[in-house]
Amino acid sequence: MLSIENLNAYYGQAHVLKDVSITVNKGEVVVMLGPNGHGKSTLLKSICGMVDSKRGKITYKDQDIIKFPSDKIVNLGITYIAENRELFPYMSTLENLKLGAYSKNARKHEKENLEKVFSLFPRLAERRKQFASTMSGGEAKMLAIARGLMSNADFLAIDEPALGLQPNLRTEVARIIKEINKQGKTILVVEQNIPQITDLADKLYVLEEGHITFEGNKDDALSNDNLKEIFLGM
């Protein structure tokens, strides 16, 4: 569904991604591990058209999207769910969700997606009039995921969904990702060492200093002593 070949990305003078190649197949949950600051978020942002200087090839549904602007990419069905949420602080839950369905492709399905999202996150339905800025960290995280789902995307690029959450909320986030995946969404999720999330992975990658240093499934990762210790926290 999505394949990246030799992607290089830069932030000013900094060369953040170096010849990164990954493949995500339809219906998979792929987990990208790696230490903080080694380019994981940049990878997701590059896919979503939010990094300007990059070269390589990003193929999604048979088109090379590397030069596409972010709004076109969203319309093609890829959505980024940011680590620090990036909600609209002075808008209500409902307005945030409606803006999530801004793209042309999403607008047609706004009503049904809203129902889906509220059944997935009953808490948000209760708080539909509340301003995003007044929400707790956990609720805001849920709203960010929910807003991402409103875009009617087939492919979700989720950036550290469990970061800074309490263990019970981490389990909840993992359950939701599993549920979304069951509904047919393909997911690429970036994490550091949250076992609940890694547990969902069909495939794992490790990104270190801008390079992919590991690729394989869970069993491969578990048989790799270094990985086991550092990233899986087991």
Partner 1 sequence: MNTKGMVTILAVTYGFIGILPIFLGDSSILMRILTMILIWSIVASCWDLIMGYAGIFSFGQVAFYVIGAYSSAILSVSLNVPPIVSIFMAGAITAIIGVIIGLPCLKLAGPYIALVTFAFQLALEPFLKGPLGKAIGSGGSRGIISVPPIHLFGMDLSSSELIPFFYFALVLTLICSAVIVVILKSHWGTAFLALKDSEDFAASLGVSAFKYKLLVFGITSFITGLFGALYVHYVGILSTRMLSMEVFTVLLIMIVVGGIGQYPGVVIGAVFTVTANELLRPMGIYRLLIMGGLVVVVVLLLPDGVTGLIRKFSVFKLRKKKKPSVEIRG
Partner 2 sequence: MFIEIIDIIISGLLNGSVYALMAIGLALVYGVTKAFNFAYGSFYTMGGYFAWTLLVSMGIKGGYYTVFLTAIPFLFIVGFFLEKVLISPLRKRSDWQMKAMMLTLGLSLFLDIGYIAIFGPRLKSLPDIVEGTIDIGPFAFMNQDIVIFILSITGLLCFAWMLNNTRIGMAVQAVAQNPIGAQIVGIPKDRVFAATFAISTIMVGIGGILLSQKNFVNPQASTGIMIKAWVITAFGGMGSIKGSLYAALIIGMLEAFVGYYLGMIHIEVAVLTLLLITLAFRPQGLMGRE
Of these, 40, 85, 185, 203, which contacts partner 1 (CB under 8 A)? 40
Between residue 151 and residue 170, which ones bind partner 2 under the rule CB under 8 A?
A: 151
Of these, 2, 22, 33, 38, which contacts partner 1 (CB under 8 A)? 38
Binding mask of the shown chain, residues 100 to 139, with x at each position contacting partner 2 by CB under 8 A = x-xx--x---------------------------------
**Buried-state track 155-167, b at ≥16 Cβ within 10 A, e below 16:** bbbbbbbbbebee
Instruction: Give the range of 6-14, 24-32, 74-82, 164-172 binding partner 1 by CB under 8 A.
Output: 6-14
Q: Which segments within the chain are labelled E, that is strand?
A: 2-11, 14-24, 29-33, 54-60, 63-64, 78-81, 155-159, 186-190, 203-208, 211-216
Between residue 39 and residue 98, which ones bind partner 2 under the rule CB under 8 A?
A: 48, 50, 52, 69-71, 73-75, 79-82, 86-91, 95, 98
Minimal distance, residue 229 CB to partner 2, in Å: 34
Of these, 4, 22, 32, 41, which contacts partner 1 (CB under 8 A)? 41
CA 169, 170, 171: angle at the middle one, nearest 5?
A: 90
Binding mask of the shown chain, residues 43 to 82, with x at each position contacting partner 1 by CB under 8 A = x---------------------------------------
17: nearest Cα among 51, 45, 42, 52 = 42
Give the number of other Cβ atoms within 10 Å of residue 30's Cβ.
21
Structure tokens at 2: 């999505």
> SS3 for 6?
strand
From the list partner 2, partner 1, none, partner contacted by residue 36 (C-beta under 5 to 8 A by kind) = partner 1
| Complex with partner 2: residue 90 or 115, whichever CB lies closer | 90
DSSP assignment string, 130-182: SBGGGS-HHHHHHHHHHHHHHTT-SEEEEE-TTTT--HHHHHHHHHHHHHHHH
Q: Which residues bind partner 1 (CB under 8 A)?
A: 11-17, 36-43, 209-210
